[in-house]
Structure 1
Amino acid sequence: MSIFGQALRAACATALLLSTTAADAQDWKARIPVIRIGILGGENAADRLTNYACWKDKLEAHFNVPVELFPAADYAGVIQGLLAGQLDIANAFSPNSYASIVSQDPDAVEAVATQRQTDGSLGYYSVIIARKDSGLKTVADLKGKTLAFADPNSTSGYLYPSFELKAQGYDPATFFAKTGFAGGHEQGVVAVLNKQYDAAATWSSAIGDESKGYSSGNLAKMVQKGALNMKDIVILWKSSLIPNGPELVRKALPADFKAEYAKVLFDLPKSDKTCFDAIEGGDFADFAPIPAGFYDTVIRMRQEQDAGRRKS
């Protein structure tokens, strides 16, 4: 073949590739006329919408399609939205909620990344807090007292404290006078401050400046917006390290969209650290790939919990 023929063939191939790429882009835009983001509970809806406003703007500017935010009343709302294909994305997802989705439909979602703490770790903790003026100092002091869990699908607000307290000899079913669900992490802490419960389970990085509620987590968010003074509470108990939650996308979304979304996501800590911290709930280093088997323990706990519910 002549040099001219080779050049013509290459040009045709390039044109075909460009037209295919453009067609693919148009294809996913036809299939995704709007990007729908589910926001887990844990704090009031107004604060969640405020925290996610910057992320909404970035995604709209990058993909040139509208973005809608859905702050569900509880964790189950986002779980069901993803399973039903009514939501496309969920950020800073609960590991327990992820385990719930996987147990119901392994092909519903993909875990794109997880958060890396400022100390390099990939985990956080469940903590049980009480009012400092209550005189309570350890979890043993809670015998016959009341405990607020956050949400049945919360990892730190229910799954881990339920399992680990029982293993340590503090079975929630018999050790406490009463347990209940506050409706979210912030609500649980507020219930303690208002003396509606003696203690509450919530989440924290447990690293960094204690007076600021540590580097990330519900306590940090509440301190930042003036809803909590750390001098008013005491931490009675801390769990083992919990794997940080996944950043999720619906698996059925077009592959080219998911790949581009992952690029935007991983770039966020560098391009806009303030926005990154806002949607993730505190001061994190960046995103990290998810190690193999990262959520196996959480999934096993969830399966055991569900099996126990079916028996009761």
Structure 2
Amino acid sequence: MKNLFLILALVFSVYISKAQNTLYLGVGSNINKSAESQKTVDELAQYLSQKLGIVVKINSLKAGKTLEQIQEGKLDVALMNTFGYVLASSEGNMEALVVVANAQKKAITYQSCLIAHPSTQIRTLEDLKKQASQYLLGFVSASSTSGHLIPRLFLNRLDLQPEISFKDVQFAGSHQELIHKISLGELKIGAVSYTDLEELTKSGKYKKSDFNILWTSEPITNGPVSVRKDLSTSLKAKLQEIWINLPKENPTLNTKVVKLWHNTNAQSTFISAQDSLYESIRKMANSMEEISVLVGLYSE
């Protein structure tokens, strides 16, 4: 019996040592996979490794497969979008750690919107309901919160089923690409980030008259940096401290990470995140099963 206890103690100590010496950093599928983006992710992993004194390995999150990655022990800390977090926190043992915030220390939000090319003469949701069958509906990507999941839930509540009520559904790959296609009339109707649309309009790339805005969503809190609930309290505290101090200790990296992840003000900072920030998203769906199905949709 004594030998058994010694063996179990040894196995347990090896497990703890391994867990403390390697940290898996998950990067959401919503993050651009360009060479520049990959470089930023590498820099972030190196920075975390330096601060924590442990190996940090990058693990790209796969749309519809994140829960499996968590169960396989391949995810400790994650940069994921809003819907991804809502699902992972409810079914995958993840909790919010920090969230991007403005200078007033308020969590930054964004919005989704439905837009139409002016040539359609669709100016209202009633117009959309009457003419939906004539047009393709553009989404951004399967896992996009503002460019697919939120507007899909909204359309469902209007009794508009994207694959049935419209001619078909098409994914553009990015908010910028979908906005561009609609501006040219290549696609007539689409769901995109209202925040991105505003930014591109203000920059002069497009005019307000290039689009008819049919609907804008309620504010959506940006996805948080999330961590496994069963990480040690001390490690979670250290990670939170690193993120909150990032703008001050490494402003260059902070600027890159914020731009990479949220495409928001480069001077943004991070604050402690509360799960309650995401309750409104949960309430939009009829059940967590509906959210799970939506996230997995088109992800195979």
Instruction: Compute the TM-score of the two structures, normalised by the length of structure 2.
Output: 0.70
Aligned to 2:258: 277
Aligned in 2, Cα 1:266/1:54: closer, same or farther, shift over 3 Å? same
Aligned to 1:10: none
Q: Does 1:101 align with 2:83?
A: no
- The one-letter code matched in structure 2 to 1:104 is E
CA contact (8 A) 1:51 1:278 kept: no
Secondary structure of 1:295 counterpart: helix
Question: In structure 1, how many angstroms separate the alpha carbons of the residues matched to 2:235 and 2:111?
Answer: 33
Question: In structure 1, how many angstroms separate the alpha carbons of the residues matched to 2:288 and 2:53?
Answer: 42
Aligned in 2, Cα 1:249/1:198: closer, same or farther, shift over 3 Å? same
Secondary structure of 2:268 counterpart: strand
Alignment of 1:167-246 (within 5 A): 167=157, 172=162, 175-182=165-172, 185=175, 188-189=178-179, 192=182, 197-205=187-195, 210-212=198-200, 229-231=205-207, 234=211, 236=213, 237-246=215-224
Aligned to 1:155: 145
- The one-letter code matched in structure 2 to 1:80 is E
Picking from 15, 19, 23, the partner of 1:35 is: 23
CA contact (8 A) 2:32 2:260 kept: no
Residue 280 of structure 1 deviates from its aligned partner by 3.0
Aligned to 2:42: 53
Aligned in 2, Cα 1:229/1:136: closer, same or farther, shift over 3 Å? farther
Aligned to 2:4: none
Residue 160 of structure 1 deviates from its aligned partner by 1.9
Aligned in 2, Cα 1:68/1:140: closer, same or farther, shift over 3 Å? farther
Picking from 50, 56, 63, the partner of 1:75 is: 63
The count of aligned residue pairs is 267
CA contact (8 A) 1:125 1:240 kept: yes
Identity of aligned residues (%): 21
Secondary structure of 1:42 counterpart: coil
Q: Does 1:116 align with 2:93?
A: no
Question: In structure 2, how many angstroms separate the alpha carbons of the residues matched to 1:185 and 1:38?
Answer: 22
- The one-letter code matched in structure 1 to 2:24 is R
Gap regions ≥5 residues in structure 1: 1-25, 215-222
Aligned in 2, Cα 1:41/1:195: closer, same or farther, shift over 3 Å? farther
Question: In structure 2, how many angstroms separate the alpha carbons of the residues matched to 1:79 and 1:157?
Answer: 22
Gap regions ≥5 residues in structure 2: 1-13, 295-300
Secondary structure of 1:45 counterpart: coil
Aligned in 2, Cα 1:86/1:185: closer, same or farther, shift over 3 Å? farther
- The one-letter code matched in structure 2 to 1:239 is S
Aligned to 1:14: none
Alignment of 1:127-138 (within 5 A): 127-129=113-115
Question: In structure 1, how many angstroms separate the alpha carbons of the residues matched to 2:200 and 2:157?
Answer: 31
Secondary structure of 1:37 counterpart: strand
Worse-matched range after superposition: 154-163 or 174-183: 174-183
- The one-letter code matched in structure 1 to 2:261 is E
Secondary structure of 2:65 counterpart: helix
- The one-letter code matched in structure 1 to 2:211 is V
Aligned to 1:306: 289
Question: In structure 2, how many angstroms separate the alpha carbons of the residues matched to 1:68 and 1:196?
Answer: 41
Aligned in 2, Cα 1:152/1:269: closer, same or farther, shift over 3 Å? same
Question: In structure 2, how many angstroms separate the alpha carbons of the residues matched to 1:29 and 1:174?
Answer: 53
Residue 122 of structure 1 deviates from its aligned partner by 3.7
Worse-matched range after superposition: 183-192 or 120-129: 183-192
Residue 133 of structure 1 deviates from its aligned partner by 7.4
Residue 151 of structure 1 deviates from its aligned partner by 4.0
Residue 290 of structure 1 deviates from its aligned partner by 2.9
Secondary structure of 1:293 counterpart: helix
Instruction: Compute the TM-score of the two structures, normalised by the length of structure 1.
Output: 0.68
Aligned in 2, Cα 1:262/1:161: closer, same or farther, shift over 3 Å? same
Question: In structure 2, how many angstroms separate the alpha carbons of the residues matched to 1:266 and 1:235?
Answer: 39
CA contact (8 A) 1:123 1:243 kept: yes
CA contact (8 A) 1:151 1:184 kept: yes
Question: In structure 1, how many angstroms separate the alpha carbons of the residues matched to 2:256 and 2:29?
Answer: 19
Aligned in 2, Cα 1:169/1:289: closer, same or farther, shift over 3 Å? same
- The one-letter code matched in structure 2 to 1:274 is T
CA deviation map 1:181-237 (0-9, x unaligned): 45564664566578664333232447xx945567xxxxxxxx8xxxx9344953623
- The one-letter code matched in structure 2 to 1:128 is L
CA deviation map 1:135-175 (0-9, x unaligned): 76555555332212334443322332123334457554654
What is the RMSD of the two structures over their aligned residues, measured on CA atoms? 3.8
Higher Cα radius of gyration:
1
Aligned in 2, Cα 1:211/1:240: closer, same or farther, shift over 3 Å? closer
Question: In structure 2, how many angstroms separate the alpha carbons of the residues matched to 1:159 and 1:69?
Answer: 26
Worse-matched range after superposition: 167-176 or 147-156: 167-176
